[in-house]
Structures are given as structure tokens and as C-alpha cells.
Chain A
């Protein structure tokens, strides 16, 4: 197992380096002089010279790259808009996104798995049919539209939930449901198909023929084994949520890292754009690594491949 983890970690290094180079190059590949871009539209010639020196843009590209990566973590790289180290700007926002994503994944796992199991045990029944249709709709829904519809219903018409912002538990409900919808659908489909696979196995027939109650056969014998592929999907979905929360955060004015990224793109706050891209991608890659490891722990066959 140790060797498996070590190999995965080594494979991670080129990807992380590549991701950091790409984030770094964004400023340099953008049309125009990087110093002018950083100095802003109303900058004088002197401002531009000052910025060029301050950001080390007069140094060779590889020196700039190392300065960029180091600067994110030691606080040298500062946001143009907030005039704070990027890490201090991004950190709290990342925590907010994490909170939202965790709530969403809990919803997605509970509802998705339940729907998946019911679909599999009641195959071709109306439960299965409804769950299939709802799952298909779930992956086709534009999240921003879905969010607006829920705001319209629960905040505007009924008035029991806030329409946005961060606060108590009630503020979390709508955004978490919206962000979790597509994942709920995907988890439901995955659970259904792996449950169907498992329910066909001989050991399930054996369990049944021993006279076990169906509930125990389904939940203790079948579900446990059907969970393995589902765990991977859950992990991947969590990674996507962390990063893909941009739209949900915008609809609900949730102060997360995705929203920060979009705001920074719009205000051309390049250091924050670059650093948040790198940090989001880094977190995503690490979550994927964790998923791989959990998968290998659950299913020993993977380790030897």
C-alpha cells in the first residue's frame, strides 16, 4: 500500500508543476504588456515602470516563475485590489467553498444512494422510472437557472429561506441543494447500476436462500459491495464541487473562492486569478489522489494493477 501511495504521489508532481506553469503563464500569454495589465488602465508611464520592477517583470521568465510560486505561500504576491497577500484573500474564501461543498456532498450522497438502491431493488417500477427521469433532468439542469427557480419559490413566493448571502444554517440550504443536484443524479445512477451488478451475484442468491430478510440482504450484503464504485464517484464529485461552485456561488452571493476568481477576472486582479486557479486545481488534484487511495484501500485488486 505504501508503494502504491508513493507511486501516485510521484505521478502528481509533473501535473502540479504543469498546472503552476499554466497559471503563471496566464499573465504572460494575455495580449499586451504584463506590466501594463497589472498597472491598470489609468496607469502613467511611471506606474508601469514601478509595477514592472515591483513584480520582477524585468527578470528572466524562470526567475519570475519561481518568485510567483514562492510568493503565493510567503505572502509576497499581493492582490492588486485588496492589497493583501493573495493567500490571505483566498484562504477564507476557500473555507467557505469547502463548507458549501461538504453540505452539498452530504445531500447528494444521502439522496443519491437512497434513490439508487430503491431504483435497483424496484427495477422497472414507477420508483425506478421517476428516479431515472429525475436523474436525467438533474444532469441537464443549468445550475444558475435551477438556483433562480428555487430562490423564486422559497425566497420570493413562500419566503421561508433567504435568497443569498452567508449566515446561519438557513442560508446554506438552497445553495447546497443546487450545487448537489447534478451529483445526486450521478450518484443515483452509479449506485443503481452497481447495485444491479451485485444483486446478480451468487453470494446474494446464497444469502437469500439462507432465508435472510430482504432488507438485510440488500443493505448489509449488497450495498456494502456496491459502495466501492460509488465511493469513487462521490470523491470525484466532491472535487468538481470545490471547483465548480462558481455558478452556485454567483447565484446565491456566496463568498466562495469560485466567486472570488470570477470577480478577479472581471476586475483584472491577475495575481488573485493566477493564485486561485493554481490553488483550486491543486486541491482538485489532491482530492483525486485521496479518492484513488480510498479506492485502493477498499478494493485490494486495484493496488496490484
Chain B
């Protein structure tokens, strides 16, 4: 990494650090990533191990959050659930980034008819509001972890395409781009080497904020029975199951939902903070 780049990152980090709320968000996200990565070492029990004698066991030293209807340790299931969520988030964001950034960069850079076609296609995708597009794709492919990742990935493409296009249009009129073109650089290398790196901050912010939306959508689909299927410990599906036992064991419904909220909040806070740190002019 060049000296200049390092200084730049340092400035962003310093700005971010000053924003207390963003720091809280950052630590929530960090905790989430660590829990997901080291789930087998952190979780006290096997998340699939049933013990009917412990069905709906209350909170105790042995089972800090109690047990679910099959006597599975709730804390262990929530810890492993972080793994499932992060898999969905990373998988679908990668799909959305690859396709969305490509479409947005090409449309924004070349403009004209091509841009028009791409953007109208994105409008069509955006006409399916909220999680409806993901629902449509799931209805086609059927519910499973892989299909969920594909569905949420496609559902996030237009956001990335739009953001990238806007950023590319803003960058492409700069002198250094004209210079690169004048010395005969290929379009593909101009886009990859000069345009995209300079259009990166809105994409990074969008990625972070989108992580929150993706998690909410995945959990929502899980809750509807159209996402990850049981017995995989996915937070939304766990909540959906717990609904039936709300009167007997409200904790079984409470904790997975709390985990979702906490992580979503973390990404939202961190994303907002990043936005301010990367783009200080936006702040009043």
C-alpha cells in the first residue's frame, strides 16, 4: 500500500473514531463477525443436539438463554445462526456487487442507448417494491439457502447499479480520465483502474447499509417459511417456529429477534458513520 493511501485511510479512520455512534456500530459488526467465524469454539453446545427432557428449559447457568421445543440450547443456535446470516449476506452482496457495479459502470461510462436500456431494466426490477422481487424469485426457484442467496442477490442489483452509475458519471469528466483516454488506454482498463477506484466510497457505504437490508430480508423470508429451512439455525426461521410457543416460552422468540435487530442496527450505525467519514461535505 502506498504511503498516500495509508494516510488517506488514517484520516477516514480518525473521522470515524470521532463519531461515537458509528464506533458502537463498528463494534457490534465486529462482534458479529467474530461470533460467526469462531462459532464452534464459542457455542457451548451442538446447535442440532436434541434433548427432549430439556424442552423449553428456562434460562440457567447451564443454558444461559434456555432451550427450545426440542431441548436444543438456544444460545448455541443463535451463535451458529450468525454463521448462516453472514453466509447469506456475503453471498448475496457479492452477486449484487459483481453484476450491479458492472452494469452501473458500463451504463454510466458509455451513456447513450446502452445506459438507457440498463436503467429501464433496473426500473423494472425496482417496480417490485421491498422484498417482493426476492419473493418472486423464490417462488420460481423454490426455498433453499442457495436460492435465497440468489434471490436476495438479484434483488440488490439495482441499488448497486444506480449508485455506481451516479458515481461513475460524476468521476468520468475529470481531467485524468480524459488524459488516460488521450494516451489511448483501453476503456476496460480506464474503468477498472481510474473510474471505479475513484467512485468507491458510495459503493462501500451502500454495501455496509445493504448488509442490514439483506439480513432483514433473509430473516423475513425465513420467517415466512421461504428462506433457510429448519433445522438449520437461521434467526428468522427460529422466530417463526417460536411463534407457536409464544405463550409458553416467550424467550425462544425474543432472543433470535433481538439478535437480528442488534446486527441490523450495527450495520446501519456503522454505515451512516462511514458515509459521514468518507464524504464529510455531506454533513452540515
State whether B128 touches A19 (Cβ < 8 A).
yes
Q: Give the shortest distance, in Å, between A209 (CB) and chain B (any CB).
A: 24
State whether A151 touches B246 (Cβ < 8 A).
yes
Closest-by-CB residue of A relative to B219 is A142
Q: Give the shortest distance, in Å, between B135 (CB) and chain A (any CB).
A: 7
Q: Give the shortest distance, in Å, between B82 (CB) and chain A (any CB).
A: 15
In the assembled complex, A265 has its CB within 8 A of some CB on chain B: yes
Interface of chain A: mostly helix, strand, loop or mixed:
helix
A260, B124: Cα distance in complex, Å: 23
Closest-by-CB residue of A relative to B258 is A145
Closest-by-CB residue of B relative to A269 is B139
The 23 listed contacts between A and B (C-beta, < 8 Å) are: A15-B127, A18-B123, A19-B127, A19-B128, A22-B124, A26-B140, A30-B141, A142-B219, A142-B236, A142-B261, A145-B261, A146-B257, A148-B253, A151-B246, A156-B246, A156-B250, A196-B284, A243-B129, A243-B130, A247-B220, A280-B132, A284-B128, A284-B129
Contact with A along B104-133 (1 / 0, CB 8 A): 000000000000000011011001111110
Contact with B along A1-34 (1 / 0, CB 8 A): 0000000000000111011001100100111000
Chain B positions 215-274 with a Cβ under 8 Å from a chain A Cβ: 216, 219-220, 223-226, 236, 239-240, 243, 246-247, 250, 253-254, 256-258, 260-261, 264-265, 268-269
Q: A273: which B residues are within 8 A, CB to CB?
A: 136, 139
Chain A positions 100-143 with a Cβ under 8 Å from a chain B Cβ: 136-137, 139-143
Q: Which 8 A-B residue pairings sit nearest by Cβ, starting from the closest?
A: A145-B257, A18-B124, A244-B130, A140-B265, A243-B129, A265-B139, A140-B264, A30-B140
In the assembled complex, B212 has its CB within 8 A of some CB on chain A: yes
In the assembled complex, B138 has its CB within 8 A of some CB on chain A: yes
Closest-by-CB residue of B relative to A193 is B284
Q: A246: which B residues are within 8 A, CB to CB?
A: 130-132, 135, 220, 224
Q: B243: which A residues are within 8 A, CB to CB?
A: 148, 251
A277, B240: Cα distance in complex, Å: 24
Partner of B224, one of A139, A152, A196, A247: A247
State whether B223 touches A139 (Cβ < 8 A).
no
Please judge, given known A-B contacts A136-B265, A152-B250, whether A240 and B226 are in contact too, CB under 8 Å.
no
Chain A positions 213-232 with a Cβ under 8 Å from a chain B Cβ: none
State whether B268 touches A148 (Cβ < 8 A).
no
Q: A247: which B residues are within 8 A, CB to CB?
A: 220, 223-224
Contact with B along A141-168 (1 / 0, CB 8 A): 1111110110110001000000000000
| B residues contacting the other copy or chain, number (CB 8 A) | 44
A29, B258: Cα distance in complex, Å: 37
In the assembled complex, A275 has its CB within 8 A of some CB on chain B: no
A284, B128: Cα distance in complex, Å: 8
In the assembled complex, A290 has its CB within 8 A of some CB on chain B: no
Partner of A18, one of B121, B142, B265: B121
In the assembled complex, A250 has its CB within 8 A of some CB on chain B: yes
State whether A15 touches B120 (Cβ < 8 A).
yes
Partner of B220, one of A19, A142, A240, A284: A142
Closest-by-CB residue of B relative to A32 is B142
Please judge, given known A-B contacts A142-B219, A247-B223, A266-B225, whether A18 and B127 are in contact too, CB under 8 Å.
yes
Given contacts A15-B123, A251-B243, 17 further A-B contacts (CB under 8 A): A14-B120, A14-B123, A15-B124, A18-B123, A19-B124, A136-B268, A140-B261, A142-B261, A142-B264, A145-B239, A145-B256, A145-B258, A156-B250, A242-B129, A243-B130, A266-B226, A281-B129
State whether A18 touches B120 (Cβ < 8 A).
yes
Closest-by-CB residue of B relative to A243 is B129
A152, B220: Cα distance in complex, Å: 19
A254, B264: Cα distance in complex, Å: 26
In the assembled complex, A204 has its CB within 8 A of some CB on chain B: no
Q: Give the shortest distance, in Å, between A263 (CB) and chain B (any CB).
A: 10
State whether A243 touches B132 (Cβ < 8 A).
yes
Q: A141: which B residues are within 8 A, CB to CB?
A: 261
State whether A31 touches B141 (Cβ < 8 A).
yes
State whether B135 touches A149 (Cβ < 8 A).
no
Contact with B along A229-260 (1 / 0, CB 8 A): 00000000001101110110011000000000
Chain B positions 125-170 with a Cβ under 8 Å from a chain A Cβ: 127-132, 135-136, 138-142
B129, B138, B261 — most chain A CB neighbours (10 Å): B129
Q: A280: which B residues are within 8 A, CB to CB?
A: 128-129, 132
Q: A69: which B residues are within 8 A, CB to CB?
A: none
Q: B128: which A residues are within 8 A, CB to CB?
A: 19, 22, 243, 277, 280-281, 284
Q: A139: which B residues are within 8 A, CB to CB?
A: 268
A139, B127: Cα distance in complex, Å: 21
Q: Give the shortest distance, in Å, between B29 (CB) and chain A (any CB).
A: 13
Please judge, given known A-B contacts A26-B140, A265-B226, whether A277 and B132 are in contact too, CB under 8 Å.
yes
State whether B129 touches A148 (Cβ < 8 A).
no
State whether A244 touches B131 (Cβ < 8 A).
yes
A15, B124: Cα distance in complex, Å: 5
State whether A149 touches B254 (Cβ < 8 A).
yes
A273, B135: Cα distance in complex, Å: 10
